[in-house]
Amino acid sequence: CQLPWQCNCKEGWGGLYCNQDLNYCTNHKPCQNEATCTNTGEGSYTCTCQPGFFGKNCEIETNECESSPCKNGGSCKDLVNNYSCACPQGFYGENCEISAMRCADGPCFNGGTCVETDAGGYSCHCPTGFTGSNCEKRIDKCSSSPCINGTKVLRGKKEV
pLDDT one-digit tens code per residue, 48-58: 999 999 999 99
Count H helices and E strands in the chain, helices first.
1, 16
Give, in words, the CATH class of 13-61: mainly beta
CATH entry, 65-100, from 2.10.25.10, 2.60.40.3140, 3.40.50.300, 2.30.29.30: 2.10.25.10
Q: How many residues does the chain have?
A: 160
d(CA 134, CA 40): 62
- Looking at the chain, the whole-number percentage of residues with pLDDT higher than 90 is 46
pLDDT one-digit tens code per residue, 90-128: 788 999 988 777 787 888 999 999 998 877 678 899 999
CATH entry, 101-160, from 2.10.25.10, 3.10.129.10, 1.10.3210.10, 3.30.70.20: 2.10.25.10
